[in-house]
Amino acid sequence: MKKIIIAIDGFSSTGKSTVAKQLAKALGYVYIDTGAMYRAVALFAMKHDLVGENFIKKQDLEDKLSEIQINFKLNLKNDIAEAYLNGNNVENDIRSLEVSQFVSPIAAISSVRKKLVEQQQKMGAEKGIVMDGRDIGTVVFPKAELKIFMNASAEKRAQRRYEELTAKGDKVSYESVLKNIEERDHIDTTREDSPLVKAKDAILFDNSVLSKEEQFEKLKGLALEYI
């Protein structure tokens, strides 16, 4: 089977990672969640007091970028490629609402993007990869064979995210999740470096009314046309 690059971009909590994971598994491809990498940098910044309610110490973070090592290791128990920050498993910590609140301003910093984009391009050099994020089809792999741009209404996305967080035991309100999603949408689409935008050759995929199964079947069908 031919190996291609599948780039899945879109707004926060559109369910990109769920379907990207399923697709990678079905095709025997590697799955990379680039949002996890930006989240890991945000977690690092939080732990070093480089970001807070009203501040970002951009220069201090830039000085420490070389100390940040992010990688993924497959957990054989749940078959999930979990994120590691400097050797520590941070898969759970990076999904908190607190990290969600700081990640988009951190992801708007060009030097952070440069570091992570370089790593992502190396990860996909051999193709056979499904990568999801905000700039995969536009910046990381502009020549990806298949590009998908996912969207759904902010309310629908907030509802899904709220259910995920409360199922984990996080005490959050629906309103705070919706507010966070709207704020991230705003920062992600208006930042100067690599704003979230649909690549011209990406296929628009609105999944507001599709079940997870339907999304997977549709995307698998599309992928098989290219392989």
Q: Which residues are annotated as a binding site?
A: 10-18
Instruction: Return the residue matching tokens 């497959």.
Output: 74
In the complex with ligand C5P, the residue whose CB is nearer, 134 or 223, is: 134
**Contact call for residue 14 and ligand C5P (CB under 6 A):** no
Of 65-73, 129-137, 141-149, 212-220, which part binds ligand C5P (CB under 6 A)? 129-137
In whole angstroms, give the CA distance from residue 81 to residue 34: 12
For residues 90 and 84, the answer to whether their CB atoms sit within 8 Å is yes
Distance of closest approach, residue 120 Cβ to ligand C5P, in angstroms = 8
Q: Which residues are annotated as a binding site for ATP?
A: 10-18
For residue 205, give the 3-state DSSP assignment. strand
Write phi, then psi, for 128 (nearest 5 degrees).
Answer: 65, 45
11 binds ligand C5P (CB under 6 A): no
Which residues from 141-200 bind ligand C5P, rule CB under 6 A?
Answer: 184, 188
133 touches ligand C5P (CB under 6 A): yes
124/133 with CB nearer ligand C5P: 133
Binding-site size for ligand C5P (CB under 6 A) equals 13
* Selected binder of ligand C5P within 38, 102, 141, 216 (CB under 6 A): 38
Q: In terms of Cα–Cα distance, which of 5, 15, 75, 61 is closest to 215?
A: 15
Alpha helices in 28-151 (DSSP H): 34-47, 58-64, 97-107, 110-123
Contact with ligand C5P (CB under 6 A): which of 4, 45, 70, 103? 103
Tokens standing for residue 149: 């741009």
Run of H or E residues at 14: none
Q: How far is CA 227 from the centre of its chain?
A: 24
Site residues for ligand C5P per CB under 6 A: 12, 34-35, 38-39, 103-104, 107, 133-135, 184, 188
